[in-house]
Structure 1
């Protein structure tokens, strides 16, 4: 009898919670592919080995997150009346090939924020979120910031998803705007240290315009990471992009200026990144993407790890064919060729984040992936 009463009480509690939070949505993506990569380094370059690559070998493997990072999440909105709403998002990233949590083992490493929105006044959110420049450029990324073969880190920085971030967003007709401040991002250090207010902080803003077939956006981002060589650096990026759609074709192009400065004000990296791409809806089910990326390295100073100051400018070509089997399931073929760097511009100088490091003596890399993606 006691068990029955207890079970009824618990059931009633969850029923009330479900009624109060009926607008909460559970969603997710699972994306896995079989991948071939040429000229892969047998070891991961790091500070301990002088950033020297190992022997070059080809690899055939199963890889998670081709077009989209595998994830599951919860999001919801509550109407508080008078045009005021509360919202939240919790999003977990995981490897769909082995089930491990990504983003350094964080439970909700992709997003974790709560906020308020007032009609016409905009939205303010607090927590782990995407930076303003990343959000502003999202619609101008040829492969929609695809995980596998798009140089996201080189374009937006390793801090494109930041901790302890307060963000404001609003939209006025065709104009959208966003701005943020991070009290301390955990990419390079802990941040939020007493007496070290600047450590690992960041800020930025973005403005977009979209009307009819034309759209454009500009963005700025600054990140002040804790450097392994000591002190706090200043990593600055500014970007602009535009797109035009006509019929089944959308063409886009962009430019990103970047400068990374050490604690002693010496320039670590100064570069200009350019990209151009097109999306073509060949049929109602088949979409094709072609993109080109080029990084003009103006100045490089990595004497601390023995790297050369003169490197050939990296460039990469990307092609994707994506076929929808239904509204939720698609299969895809992704291919990319990178020159003077690993795929996604992975080198110890430019990105060094995605794990595509060319082996010793190699200056190019090819990647081919055949995968399946399901959304729920």
Structure 2
């Protein structure tokens, strides 16, 4: 019996008499003040001070619901909004529930099957081991242009996703996203991933492919919306390609109060126009090492370094082999279980003909090969 058939059968025979339901309102507000040493403005550049929202974690609120259908089966849903706390505007290209919006079924022994706007499996499985994890540096620590989407600059529309329960430390999942177009292969996506946890060791791997997304925009009905990434100023999949393949893996090892990790991802943009490429291939290999240390119950320190080795075909404007190096440091002080203060700094150096530094939260590209961003802020959760 297939997983889908099993879920359907359970839904048919689940006794309604035992139904219990719950709806939870939750959220996070991240507000801070940020300084960037160099941001391009026209043909010149200079320092930039910003009041920030989501410098680490995107500000959001959401509704999470579950209804007990009996027999270990539950109806579930998530509606999650993103917003800018500094001006109240909607995020994710002005969507009401732009971060996540899905409904589905979850079974105690089989896992969950959900439909809607969701994260891909690289985000679900590999990102938690990276410095882009929501419990670490997240937004500011993204790899250049978020080229592998570990920082989920882009969510996936029209997605059907299965995620297993954990079996002796092993968890796995797969996702397919429809184009919703008569041309079935245009603007669709699929991904899969797995993780394994045993004692202090955590391992994960994942894969994401987007097909024929070059012309996607805010009016596109398909799996991805490149205008969303552009509107957020993240770069990300706004790099555009006839086909994107991104894959990678990572590991974390915890010993006492310290956790050390390594993550590798490779992103291949085939038929790209990024960096002046005339429909050639653009690729990024990202090598990241990271570490966190619980200094006291209140203080957490973090450090990460990423080396990105790029390659650009058929460009007359940019060099063929750009490189980016980024060092990230972070200190978090917990005022309570729900509220903390943080300070972080990121330094990026770019090399290659005509390439400049561009940190994810900088407010714009540098006019030079170097850029520094530093932020102090607070996060409140509810």
Taking a change above 3 Å as real, the CA distance of residues 167 and 355 of structure 1, as seen in their structure-2 partners, is farther
**Distance in 2 of aligned mates of 1:232 and 1:219:** 20
Q: Does 1:177 align with 2:172?
A: yes
> Equivalent residue for 2:147?
154
Q: For residues 345-368 of structure 1, what are the alpha-carbon distances to aligned partners after superposition, in whole Å with 9 as ceiling and x for unaligned?
A: x6xxxxxxx6643343x1110000
Q: Does the 8 Å CA contact 2:122/2:192 hold for their aligned counterparts? A: yes
- Which residues of 2 match residues 254-333 of structure 1 at below 5 A? 254-262=263-271, 267-297=280-310, 299-301=311-313, 303=315, 307-333=317-343
> Equivalent residue for 1:165?
159
Secondary structure (helix, strand or coil) at the match of 1:155 reads coil
Q: Does 1:358 align with 2:376?
A: no
Q: Alpha-carbon deviation of 1:309?
A: 3.2
Q: For residues 289-313 of structure 1, what are the alpha-carbon distances to aligned partners after superposition, in whole Å with 9 as ceiling and x for unaligned?
A: 100011011x20363xx53133530
Taking a change above 3 Å as real, the CA distance of residues 38 and 220 of structure 1, as seen in their structure-2 partners, is same
- Which residues of 2 match residues 73-112 of structure 1 at below 5 A? 73-112=62-101
Taking a change above 3 Å as real, the CA distance of residues 107 and 291 of structure 1, as seen in their structure-2 partners, is same
Bigger drift between 157-166 and 249-258 goes to 157-166
**Distance in 2 of aligned mates of 1:125 and 1:290:** 35
2:61 to 68, 72, 90: 72
**Distance in 1 of aligned mates of 2:358 and 2:257:** 29
> Which 4+ residue blocks in structure 1 deviate beyond 6 angstroms?
none
> Equivalent residue for 2:32?
33
Q: For residues 239-273 of structure 1, what are the alpha-carbon distances to aligned partners after superposition, in whole Å with 9 as ceiling and x for unaligned?
A: 01001001000000011122110189954312211
Q: Does the 8 Å CA contact 1:74/1:89 hold for their aligned counterparts? A: yes
Bigger drift between 288-297 and 256-265 goes to 256-265
> Equivalent residue for 1:246?
255
Q: Alpha-carbon deviation of 1:56?
A: 1.4
For the aligned residue pairs, the C-alpha RMSD in angstroms reads: 2.4
**Distance in 1 of aligned mates of 2:366 and 2:303:** 26
Secondary structure (helix, strand or coil) at the match of 1:181 reads strand
TM-score normalised per structure 2: 0.80
Q: Alpha-carbon deviation of 1:73?
A: 0.3
Secondary structure (helix, strand or coil) at the match of 1:165 reads strand
**Distance in 1 of aligned mates of 2:64 and 2:307:** 37
**Distance in 2 of aligned mates of 1:209 and 1:373:** 30
> Equivalent residue for 1:136?
125
**Distance in 1 of aligned mates of 2:267 and 2:196:** 23
Secondary structure (helix, strand or coil) at the match of 1:103 reads coil
> Equivalent residue for 1:14?
none
Task: Mark the structure with the bigger radius of gyration.
Answer: 1
